[in-house]
Chains A and B, each alone.
Chain A
Amino acid sequence: MIRRRRGRTAVVAVLLAAGALLVTSALRETLTYYRTPGEVLGDPDATSERVRLGGDVVPGSLRRTGDLLVFRLAEDGHEITVEQRGVPPETFREGEGAVVEGTLSPDRVFRSDHVVVRHGNEYRPSTAPPGSVDAR
C-alpha cells in the first residue's frame, strides 16, 4: 500500500513537472506579447523571424494607398515604418496604440499582415452627436 502510494506520488510529480515545463515554454512568447521598435531594431535576428511589434501610431504618419497602409510605430524614442497589407480595425487611428504581426525587411521597413488596436484604460465621452447643442 505504501509502495503504491509512493509510486502514485512520483507519477503525479512527474506529470506536474512536465506540465509546468510545457506551460512555461508555451508562455515564453505570451509573456512578452509584443516587442518595442527599439528591441526589434536592435535584434540582429529580427529580419529572419515573424514577430509582433507594438507601439503608438505616430500622428501624421498614416498614409493609405489602395489596401496598403503605411504608418510609423513609436515607443521609447524609437520608430519603425510599417507597411500593413489588409484592412485595420475600425478603432485604428493615429495617436492610439497598435500591435502588428510580420517581419522586418532588410530595408528596415516592417511588413505586416495583421494589426490589432491596443487601447488605453482611460474612458472619455465621445463628442456630442450631431444635432445636439455643444455647451462649450
Chain B
Amino acid sequence: MVIPHLDPQAPRGADREIMRASTVDLVADTGRAAAGRRTMAWLAGGLIAAATVAGGWLAPPDEVQGQAQRLMYLHVPAAWVAYAAFAVVLTASGAYLIGGDLRWDRFARAGAEIGAALTAVAIATGSLWGKLVWGAWWAWDPRLVSTVLLLLAYAGYLALRRSLAERTGARDGGDHRVARPAAVVGMASFLLVPVVHFSVVWWRSLHQQATVLAPQRPPIDPRMAVALLLAVAAATLAALCVLLYRVVRLERWLTPDTAPDRVPVRVG
C-alpha cells in the first residue's frame, strides 16, 4: 500500500521530487500524487467489491438474527470510520496547534466532514437493524444516545468553523482565526469517542457489546469475521481516499494559482 506522506513542511517543487523519490506526497497537486490517489481509489473499489460479495453471499445468515445480521457489514464499518475520523480531527488539530501549519487544519475539517456523514450512516443502519432484531427503531439506550451526541459534536464543530469564518470573513481552512478555536474544540470533543465505545461496558445497555474489539473475543463464525474485516478495511481505505481528495480540493480552492511550479492536475 502507498503510505500517505502528510508532512506539511515538505519542500515544494523540484526539491520535493528529489527528496521524495521513494514516497509519494498523496495530497500534492501533482500528476504523481494524483496517480497515487487513483491507485488507492481502485484498491478501495476492489475491497468494496470483495466485501460486498463476502458480506452479501459468502457469509452465512446468523442463527438468531437471520439475514438482518448482514447489516453488521455496513453498520460496524460506518461506526469504525466515524471513530477514526475523530482520531484524524484530534491528531490534525494537535499537529496544527503545535506546528501552526494550516494544512493540518484542513485535514481536521475534512476528517470532521467525513465523520459527521459516517456517524449518520451508523445511526441509520443501526436503527434499521434495531427495528429488525430488537423490534424498535430507537431506544433511549446509552450507546444510541451517546452516538447522537457524537453526531452533534461533529455538527457543532463544523458549525463553529463556518460561523467563525463568516464572522471574520476568513476562508474556512486557510485562516488561523478559524483554525485555532476549532482545533481546541475538536480536540476536546474527541473525549466523546471513548464514551461511545465503552458505553455498552460502563452502563447497562440494550445494544450488544463489541465482538471484534473485545478483550476476550466472543465466538463469531470465521466467514462472518472475514466479511466484517473486509468491510472495515474497505470503508477505511475509501474514507482515506475521500479525505485526501477533500484536502486537495480545499487547497485548490484556497490558493488560486499562486505557485508557479504547480500544474493543475485532475484529482484522482
A88–B211 CA distance with the chains assembled, in angstroms: 26
A67–B61 CA distance with the chains assembled, in angstroms: 29
A123–B214 CA distance with the chains assembled, in angstroms: 14
A93–B133 CA distance with the chains assembled, in angstroms: 12
CB pair B203–A89 under 8 Å, yes or no, is: no
List, in ascending order, chain A residues with CB within 8 A of B142's CB.
27, 30-31, 33
A123–B64 CA distance with the chains assembled, in angstroms: 8
CB pair B133–A89 under 8 Å, yes or no, is: yes
CB pair B206–A33 under 8 Å, yes or no, is: yes
Given A32-B203, A54-B204, A124-B219, does the pair A119, B65 have CB atoms closer than 8 Å? yes
A4-12, A40-48, A110-118 - interface stretch: A110-118
CB pair B133–A91 under 8 Å, yes or no, is: yes
CB pair B211–A123 under 8 Å, yes or no, is: yes
Residues of chain B from 183 to 239 with CB closer than 8 A to chain A in the complex? 203-206, 208-211, 214, 218-221, 223-224
| Most central of A27, A88, A115, A125 by chain B CB within 10 Å | A125
A88–B224 CA distance with the chains assembled, in angstroms: 27
Residues of chain A from 62 to 111 with CB closer than 8 A to chain B in the complex? 88-93, 96, 99
Residue of A32, A99, A119, A122 near B219 (CB, 8 A) is A122
A-B residue pair count with CB separations less than 8 angstroms: 96
Residue of A115, A121, A125 near B221 (CB, 8 A) is A125
CB pair B69–A118 under 8 Å, yes or no, is: no
Write the B111-141 contact mask toward A (1 if CB under 8 angstroms, else 0). 0000000000000000000001111100111
Number of A residues contacting the other chain (C-beta, 8 Å)?
29
Q: How far is the CB of B200 from chain A (nearest CB, A)?
A: 9
A74–B63 CA distance with the chains assembled, in angstroms: 22
List, in ascending order, chain A residues with CB within 8 A of B65's CB.
91, 119
Q: Which residue of A lies closest to B61 (CB)?
A: A126
Interface of A, helix, strand, loop or mixed by DSSP: loop
B66 contacts A by Cβ under 8 Å: yes
A116–B137 CA distance with the chains assembled, in angstroms: 10
List, in ascending order, chain A residues with CB within 8 A of B211's CB.
121-123
A125–B66 CA distance with the chains assembled, in angstroms: 9
CB pair B218–A122 under 8 Å, yes or no, is: yes
Interface of B, helix, strand, loop or mixed by DSSP: loop
List, in ascending order, chain B residues with CB within 8 A of A34's CB.
204, 206
List, in ascending order, chain B residues with CB within 8 A of A127's CB.
63
Q: Which residue of B lies closest to A120 (CB)?
A: B208
B31 contacts A by Cβ under 8 Å: no
List, in ascending order, chain A residues with CB within 8 A of B141's CB.
30, 33
List, in ascending order, chain A residues with CB within 8 A of B133's CB.
89, 91, 117, 119
B62 contacts A by Cβ under 8 Å: yes
| Most central of A33, A54, A115, A117 by chain B CB within 10 Å | A33
A-B contact pairs, 22 of them (CB 8 A): A30-B140, A30-B145, A30-B203, A33-B140, A33-B141, A91-B134, A92-B135, A99-B206, A116-B206, A118-B206, A119-B64, A119-B65, A119-B134, A121-B208, A121-B210, A122-B220, A123-B211, A123-B224, A124-B63, A125-B62, A125-B223, A126-B61
Chain A interface residues (CB < 8 Å from chain B): 27, 29-34, 54, 88-93, 96, 99, 115-127
Taking A27-B142, A33-B205 as given, write out 9 further A-B residue pairs in contact, using a Cβ cutoff of 8 Å, ordered by the A residue number.
A29-B140, A31-B203, A34-B206, A91-B135, A115-B135, A119-B208, A123-B211, A125-B223, A126-B63
Chain B interface residues (CB < 8 Å from chain A): 60-66, 69, 72, 132-136, 139-142, 145, 203-206, 208-211, 214, 218-221, 223-224
